């Protein structure tokens, strides 16, 4: 049977990947660390067939144009090459969250596509190999293959740049409540930003300081020290956005609404609610808190006019197959 279905979560990075050592292989300039998101899932069915004359992709019930399809076909070519197959595929995929708005739809998308297509092609691969292959579609997709809290070892080659699980999804029930302030497509695709990162005068300082930050955040995660963990992840998001803003040309993903939520989160802390923010390549704000504060955070976010809606996530398992 040349057909398989997989589900994969998006992930939120606590240590961000920004800047590539190899833009073709998607080998990053730094290690990164993330958590899989339980309510931001992509479900993808891939069917290879001798009857198809070209690949076709249906995303959220709409067929992609030839141009949009290119990235998916390129990834399928890589997998076909591994399997020694010349068959084209029909890819049907649905997202449970807005596409391209700073909730990593490319991560869940390429993780689900990789697992479904490799299974349909009957490739027998280890988790590391799947993660490395997902990375080729989109760097952060490598982190959506293993379970729970995952760590992407930057590596130095196509084979040794992959993610592994640090802790599974049941380790620590923290929440990522995504405050959606805009569900429009983002202005700049992340590959453009990765390319510009080294043009920021702040970039060398960021790369130099990351090993220390990674060591501290890993210790906070091991000790379940939420305050230390939160402070580090918030500072890390600001560090990446400082690089984005000071690259040449500058990239500014924040909207006025983004800043409003950031201030509201810092205000929550003065009221005794330990909540911290992180932001990816988009305007939406991920608010991180412990289980005991999740309802208070959601109530506060609901009161803000600028928040269109919110998506509550807990740690999730990585990509898996469904019947
Ligand atoms: O995987 P890409 O190329 O879409 O890059 C993702 C970059 C960030 O989401 C901003 C950070 C990260 O590590 O997920």
pLDDT for the residue 99: 62
Per-residue pLDDT tens over the stretch 240-276: 999 999 999 999 999 999 999 999 999 999 999 999 9
Where the chain has pLDDT below 50, the residues are none
pLDDT for the residue 299: 97
Residue closest by Cα to atom 4 of ligand 1 = 190
Q: Is 112 in the pocket of ligand 1 (CB under 6 A)?
A: no
Which secondary structure element, helix H or strand E, spans residue 288, and what is its range? strand 285-290
Question: CA–CA separation, 136 vs 141, rounded Å?
Answer: 8
Q: How many CB atoms lie within 10 A of CB 159?
A: 10
Question: CA–CA separation, 4 vs 227, rounded Å?
Answer: 42
Q: Which atom of ligand 1 is nearest to the CA of 280?
A: 10
Which among 9, 14, 15, 17 is the best mutation to test ligand 1's pocket, defined by most ligand atoms within 8 Å of the CB? 17
Q: Give DSSP secondary structure letters for 54-99.
A: S-EEEETTEEPPHHHHHHHHHHHHHHHHHHT---EEEEEEEESS-T
pLDDT for the residue 103: 62
pTM, whole model, 2 decimals?
Answer: 0.96
Q: Which residues contact 213 (CB under 8 A, 6 or more apart)?
A: 15, 232, 235, 236
pLDDT for the residue 80: 98
């Amino acid at each position: 049977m040349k057909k398989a279905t997989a589900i994969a979560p998006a992930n939120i990075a606590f240590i961000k990947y920004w800047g590539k050592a190899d833009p073709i292989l998607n080998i990053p300039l730094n290690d990164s660390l993330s958590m899989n998101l339980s309510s931001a899932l992509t479900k993808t069915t891939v069917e290879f067939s001798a009857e198809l004359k070209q690949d076709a992709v249906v995303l959220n019930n709409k067929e992609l144009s030839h141009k949009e399809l290119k990235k998916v076909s390129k990834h399928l070519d890589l997998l076909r090459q591994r399997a020694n197959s010349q068959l084209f595929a029909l890819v049907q995929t649905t997202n449970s969250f807005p596409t391209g708005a700073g909730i990593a739809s490319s991560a869940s998308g390429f993780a689900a596509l990789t697992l479904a297509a490799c299974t349909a092609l009957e490739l027998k691969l280890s988790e590391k190999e799947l993660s490395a292959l997902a990375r080729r579609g989109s760097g952060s997709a490598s982190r959506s293959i293993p379970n729970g809290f995952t760590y992407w070892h930057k590596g130095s080659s196509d084979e040794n740049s992959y993610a592994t699980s640090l802790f599974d999804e049941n380790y620590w029930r923290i929440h990522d409540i995504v405050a959606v302030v805009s569900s429009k497509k983002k202005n700049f695709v992340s590959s453009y930003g990765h390319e510009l990162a080294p043009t920021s005068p702040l970039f060398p300082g960021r790369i130099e300081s990351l090993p220390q930050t990674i060591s501290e955040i890993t210790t906070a995660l091991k000790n379940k020290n939420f305050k230390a963990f939160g402070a580090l992840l918030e500072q890390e998001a600001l560090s990446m956005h400082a690089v984005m803003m000071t690259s040449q040309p500058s990239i500014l993903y924040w909207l006025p609404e983004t800043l409003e939520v950031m201030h509201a989160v810092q205000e929550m802390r003065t009221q005794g609610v330990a909540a911290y923010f992180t932001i990816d390549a988009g305007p939406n704000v991920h608010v991180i808190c412990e289980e005991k504060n999740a309802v208070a955070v959601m109530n506060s976010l609901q009161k803000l006019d600028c928040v269109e809606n919110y998506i509550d996530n807990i740690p999730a398992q990585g990509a898996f197959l469904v019947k």
